[in-house]
Structure 1
Amino acid sequence: MDVVNQLVAKGEFRILKVPLGFIKVLQWLFAIFAFSTCGSYSGMFRVAVECKNRTDSDLSIEVEFDYPFRLHQVYFDAPSCKDGTTDRLFLVGDYSSSAEFFVTIGVFAFLYSTAALSIYLFAYEKYKANNKGPLIDLGVTAVFAFMWLVSSAAWAKGLSDVKTATDPDEVITMIPACDEEWNRCKEVHDPVMSGLNTSVAFGFINLVLWVGNLWFVFKETGIMAPFMRPPPQEKPAAPEAYEQDPYAGNQGQGGYQPEYSQDAEYGQQGAPTSFSNQM
């Protein structure tokens, strides 16, 4: 594009003001937000088990879990309410596949955005040479748009399952002592999931950014250039020459002179005849 070339010529960082560069910066930022909010998460919840024999009770059972959410490896000890013994229990589910897939796409999107920005800023002429750079950029952008769709949807489903598996009310049903009527079990603290909810939101924001960027990268390929040229303008027709008045020449020499009729000629000729008879 001529506008991009002018911005690059004036200063390499001015390309960030056009949609091609500005959206790439947003992709870079939101990719960081997506994988960091998911990959750095660590949460916990607490439940309380109050036994009939108060000495066996545990009113603050803390359960911690974190990324990549292999919950089947997370365990806690709950009182059995029998002679001071405890039962070791494990959470249910392994949701590492969807979480790791989401984080992996975010990391690779961040790396590609960094490389693309570097090329835009410092090697834009080589990027445009032979039109190979925009075509490769278009293909990679399309792949990442699809990957963000798949990974965000998978992680949204995985997060829903993580919330269910770490719900204190659900965990209480796993404790054998809580099945006894004379024991009381309740939740003390719910896990904070706002960071994980934000990561899903960032995933779909990335999807919108990468899909929207397809158009601006497609314009750089020049594929649509022949179809966007204005139609050739027709040359104005030469003014038609006016027909010359056949009497124009006569008018220029004194105007139109009517022809004399035969009667007039006869009259003029008859006058001398009658005059001669009178003589």
Structure 2
Amino acid sequence: CTIISQIISTIIFAICAFATCGGYYGQLQVKVDCADRRQSNHSINIKFGYPFRLQEVHFKAPLCEAKRDEVLFLDGDFSSASHFFLTVGVFSFLYSLLATIVYVFYQNKYLKNNRGPLQDFFITVIFSFMWLVSSSCWAKTLSEVKMATNPTQVLLLISACRAPENKCTATQQPLWSRLNTSVVFGFVNAVLWAGNIWFVFKETGWYKRGQRFPTSSVSRKRTSEMRQRLYSESSFDLPEESFRPQLSRQDGFNQSRGGFGQQVQRQGSFHYSNQTKLT
């Protein structure tokens, strides 16, 4: 029951991890005020999301002097780390779901020949390591995504904002709470899978083979029990030895009774001989 509850918790946290990362959608907004009043109050909305290929995200910004727009792109491609994190989450979810079905319906086949527990042990170690690596990479990549989508950094890409007579401001910043939560869920999954290593190890033959050998406390307990048993057996033999003198006393008593009988017979024969002489 314990290991099944652990697997169910890994399923839930895996879903939370890849759902918060894969379904992210962010938006930032900047405002450009040109010196020419006719070109003022230009609001620029920039949208981005998973898989964070920011070099493909483009937007239009006004050129105040030429009275036309320019097409600009964000910097950076962060898809590899996000894909890695999401892939680990999806595969861990599928494996946890499969392990739950095996534990519930095919436990006898799972424990047969110790092959199932050993495979489960190695896969659990791999997933715990992969969760740790992917969460660390994703946490570092997220900080780079925040820096690349910082409105102050985006304003440096706009040509009109480099001119001192124009005024550029950031009116809306992206919300990062969802992606921050995904990083937390990633490290929680790493801890859960690392904890599952012990529960899966208890199902392997390595742990059961180690349980065959008694510990020092058990051996001491058995030694004390054997000593107590030997002492009780030796004390049980003592009454037999103490019973032997009683037997010797009874033998002496019987011998004394026999001697007394012989004396009575002698006295009887002596009286009988005296009577015959008198007659």
CA contact (8 A) 1:30 1:205 kept: yes
Deviation at 1:80?
1.4
Residue identity matched to 2:163: E
Q: Does 1:65 align with 2:48?
A: yes
Instruction: Please give the alpha-carbon distance, in whole angstroms, between the structure 1 residues aligned to 2:112 and 2:85.
Output: 34
CA contact (8 A) 1:56 1:82 kept: no
CA contact (8 A) 1:75 1:90 kept: yes
Q: Does 1:81 align with 2:76?
A: no
Deviation at 1:250?
5.6
**Aligned residue in 2 for 1:97:** 80
The structure whose residues are more often helix, as a share, is 2
Secondary structure in 2 aligned to 1:68? Answer: coil
Deviation by residue 1:169-215 (Cα, 9 ceiling, x = unmatched): 11111111111111111100000111111111110010001000000
Alignment of 1:162-201 (within 5 A): 162-201=145-184
Deviation by residue 1:121-175 (Cα, 9 ceiling, x = unmatched): 1111111111111111101111111110111011001100000000101111111
The alignment's C-alpha RMSD in Å is: 2.0
**Aligned residue in 1 for 2:257:** none
Instruction: Please give the alpha-carbon distance, in whole angstroms, between the structure 2 residues aligned to 1:137 and 1:58.
Output: 61
Q: Does 1:140 align with 2:135?
A: no
Deviation by residue 1:253-272 (Cα, 9 ceiling, x = unmatched): 69xxxxxxxxxxxxxxxxxx
Secondary structure in 2 aligned to 1:220? Answer: coil
Instruction: Please give the alpha-carbon distance, in whole angstroms, between the structure 2 residues aligned to 1:208 and 1:94.
Output: 29
Instruction: Please give the alpha-carbon distance, in whole angstroms, between the structure 2 residues aligned to 1:54 and 1:115.
Output: 65
Instruction: Please give the alpha-carbon distance, in whole angstroms, between the structure 2 residues aligned to 1:219 and 1:54.
Output: 75
**Aligned residue in 2 for 1:55:** 38
Return 5+ residue gaps in structure 2 as ranges.
Answer: 254-279
CA contact (8 A) 1:58 1:78 kept: no
CA contact (8 A) 2:42 2:62 kept: no
**Aligned residue in 2 for 1:34:** 17
**Aligned residue in 1 for 2:210:** 227
Q: TM-score, normalised by structure 1?
A: 0.80
Match of 1:156 among 139, 151, 159: 139
Instruction: Please give the alpha-carbon distance, in whole angstroms, between the structure 2 residues aligned to 1:153 and 1:224.
Output: 32
CA contact (8 A) 1:68 1:100 kept: yes
